[in-house]
Amino acid sequence: MNTVLGALNPIALRLGPIQVHWYGVIIASAVVIAVALAVQEGQKRGIRPDDIYDMILWALPFTLIAARAYYVAFQWSYYSQNPGEIIRIWDGGIAIYGGLIGAGIVVFLFCRSRFIPTWLMLDIAAPTVIMGQGIGRWGNFMNQEAFGRVTSLSFLQGLHLPNWLIGQMYIQGAYRQPTFLYESVWDILGFVLLMVTRHKANLYKQGDVFLAYVAWYAFGRFFTEGMRTDSLMLFNVIRISQALSVVLFLGSIGLLIWRRHHYPDNRWYLAGSGQTAVTENK
């Protein structure tokens, strides 16, 4: 039997006093890939690359601030006693749902200011966002966070995981469920599904791709969150992300059905903005 390795070094590079964390490298890489894919798709749907770049420049800082603020707000008992650690995002501690809320506000305001169809922009971004989430979970892996309940070495080996991954799951004196991995796999599957289906003719109205993303992510997040031991809690009773997942799942499905019923003439996704959009029939 191969020897299980120890924990990996969360520091990717040291430049004198500056430490570059794998967490930041992974998140930055996810953003770069997501932006490149969004620009490529945006051009097909009649959205100028400059508009997407400008939106990203506004969205990134607000998304990061919102994600951190969300996390800190629900851990205020700790951060109120350690205010100097509030800005230490390189140690982890950003909430995806907080970031999505912040990004959604920016996208709405930006699209209104540029007269860009908001639903279309959200549709373009949705598959790349869930892909970024799937990649970003590996930042949690490097920081040994977003883990699950105590499990056994034999269980992890039974999943046929590589030894370097199993070793990283030895946290606080015990092996843990790799919930980061479960969610990452779910997110990548969602990315593949949306990428394969969104170019099908007469399948998605504008807004449907985004709502499908929300429903898919929320459904999976509900179950992975239930396995975690580091969840943000409300009144020490409710897992905040689980409660929000239920609201988002039901809300997105309900909104999709409602829009299809009450607004049957909404533009198809493939019609884009109507400005040099490339219609595809695949």
Q: What is the pLDDT of residues 101-112, one digit of tens each?
A: 899 999 999 999
Backbone phi and psi for residue 151, each to the nearest 5 degrees, phi listed first: -140, -170
pLDDT band, residue 43 (cuts 50/70/90): very high
Q: Tokens 């070495």 correspond to what residue? A: 153
Q: Report the pLDDT value the prediction gives residue 21, as an integer from 0 to 100.
A: 81
CA angle in degrees (0–180, nearest 5) for 91-96-100: 135
Q: Report the pLDDT value the prediction gives residue 282, as an integer from 0 to 100.
A: 43
pLDDT exceeds cutoff 90 at 161:
yes
Worst-scoring range by mean pLDDT, 2-11, 136-145, 185-194, 222-231?
2-11
pLDDT band, residue 251 (cuts 50/70/90): very high
Worst-scoring range by mean pLDDT, 67-81, 84-98, 193-207?
84-98
pLDDT exceeds cutoff 60 at 276:
no
Tokens in use for 250?
Answer: 């039901």
Domain ranges of the chain: 17-265
- pTM assigned to the model: 0.86
Q: Report the pLDDT value the prediction gives residue 3, as an integer from 0 to 100.
A: 55
pLDDT digits (tens, 9 = 90+) for 75-96: 777 777 777 777 776 666 677 7
pLDDT band, residue 13 (cuts 50/70/90): confident
What's the farthest any 2 CA atoms get from each other in the chain?
62
Worst-scoring range by mean pLDDT, 10-19, 69-78, 142-151, 225-234?
69-78
The per-residue pLDDT of the chain, averaged, comes to 87
Worst-scoring range by mean pLDDT, 1-5, 107-111, 272-276?
1-5
CB 64 within 8 A of CB 94: yes
Q: Give the Cα separation of 136 and 131 in Å (integer).
A: 8
Q: Report the pLDDT value the prediction gives residue 6, as an integer from 0 to 100.
A: 64
